[in-house]
Structure 1
Amino acid sequence: MTEVQRPPLTADERVQLIGWLDLQRSFVRMKCEGITEEDAHRKVLETSPLMTLAGLTAHLRWNEWSWFQLNLMGVPDTGQTPWTEGGHPDAEMFVDDVPLAQLLDEYDAECARSNETIASLPLDTVEQGPYAAKGEAASLRYILCHMIEETARHVGHMDIIRELLDHKTGYTTMSLG
């Protein structure tokens, strides 16, 4: 059984935001526990064939890199973007040939890099990447709120996919502290 911790009830804003994001991140691996490689790549939603456990894991890894490295820190894209101009907008989800274990390890590593990147930044730090040049820069506070929403939404998708695959629902493989 996976054990995860909710953030403290009375922590400061930074601890709360990162704690809730880390909690949602932990659900990604939990939702994939015990799944076969075949099921990790199984397309169970006819109208959304890229929406697989593997595809969502890859998408979430891309979001971590995009928001914290590319947008916030202004790290140049040296090939991390999986699509080209005019290409498929969800190209990062084309991972049929990538093992789920690799995708989960890459996701965990990107989440750790995100946390390391923001560890000493004030919540009011503003993006330095592409949106800054357009005058649309967001604060780290905004990015953390967005990433909680983005991750939680896709964990919900993973929950539905997992239920369609093997009828496992909710928090059946974990306890919340």
Structure 2
Amino acid sequence: MERVFPEGAADERAVLTGFLDWQRATVHRKVDGLPTELANRALLDTSPRMTVAGVISHLRQTEHDWFAGSFPSLADKPFERDQHGGWSTGGRAIADLLSGYATECAQSRRIVAQLILDTMQHFTPPQFTPVSVRWILTHMIEETARHLGHLDILREQLDGTRGY
């Protein structure tokens, strides 16, 4: 997956979607070549689900929750919320988790392409107030980048691989 920065004079949609796609591509780049046994290794006694595989699974679920969950009529399949936030991997191989993440990101792109940035969620969980597509894109940039920081640390601790 190639990383491309958005154009410096791009409009708001292109900047938001471009930076989110940059972060998504970096997720793939960060875990490229990591064996499944290392991807499932927990390094923090207090956070056993904080593994490379767990982060990838969580990012897939977060994409699903915010895009398919907010606009279920535009989703490819019925929306399913995971009460654990996607942190449980079910022992799946890292390649399968990355494939699932890529598929979910593609669905998210298709959903966003059908909406204007001011569109408010079609579904909002009862504990939240409705937010716009613009807000969701900005949040997903933040969420993905935050977890990329986790992947940076985990990857370096697992096999010494560093880099952005």
Question: TM-score, normalization: structure 1?
Answer: 0.84
- For the pair 1:140 / 2:124, whether they are aligned, the reply is no
Matched, 1:154 2:147: yes
Bigger relative contact order (CA 8 A; separation at least 6): 1
| SS in structure 1 of the partner of residue 131 of structure 2 | coil
- Give the C-alpha shift of residue 96 in structure 1: 4.6
Aligned amino acid, residue 130 of structure 1: T
Instruction: Give the ranges of 4+ consecutive aligned residues of structure 1 lying more than 6 Å apart after TM superposition.
Output: none
Aligned-pair identity in percent equals: 42
Paired residue for 2:120? Answer: 126
Alignment-derived partner of residue 37 in structure 2: 38
Shift of 1:93: 1.2
- Number of aligned pairs? 162
Tell me which amino acid in the other structure corresponds to 2:37: E
Letter in 1 for 2:162: T
**Structure 1: gaps of 5 or more residues:** 84-88, 172-177
2:101 to 94, 103, 107: 107
C-alpha separation between the residues in 1 aligned to 2:79 and 2:114?
27
Deviations 1:64-105 (A, max 9, x none): 01000112x14599572233xxxxx44x21115111111100
Question: 1:163 matched to which residue of 2?
Answer: 156
Deviation, 1:159, is: 0.5
Residue 82 of structure 1 is matched in structure 2 by 82
Task: Select the structure of larger CA radius of gyration.
Answer: 1
* Deviation of the 1:14 alpha carbon: 0.2
Over 3 Å counting, the alpha-carbon distance change for 1:59 and 1:139 in structure 2 is: same
What's the TM-score, normalizing by structure 2? 0.91
Post-superposition offset of 1:130: 2.9
Find out whether 1:93 has 2:57 as its counterpart.
no
Q: 1-side partners of 2:66 and 2:12: how far apart?
A: 20
Provide the C-alpha distance between the structure 2 equivalents of 1:3 and 1:57, rounded to a whole number of angstroms. 18
1:51 aligns with 2:70: no
- Asked whether the 8 Å contact 2:72–2:78 carries over to 1, the reply is no
User: How many Å apart are 1:32 and its aligned residue?
Assistant: 0.9
Q: State the Cα deviation string for residues 101-145 of structure 1 (Å, max 9, x = none).
A: 1110010000000001110311000001134x6671000000000
Asked if structure 2 preserves the Cα contact closer than 8 Å seen for 1:124 and 1:140, the reply is yes
Measured at CA, do residues 96 and 115 of structure 1 come closer, stay the same or move farther in structure 2, by a change above 3 Å?
same
Q: Does the CA contact (< 8 Å) of 1:163 and 1:169 recur in 2? A: yes
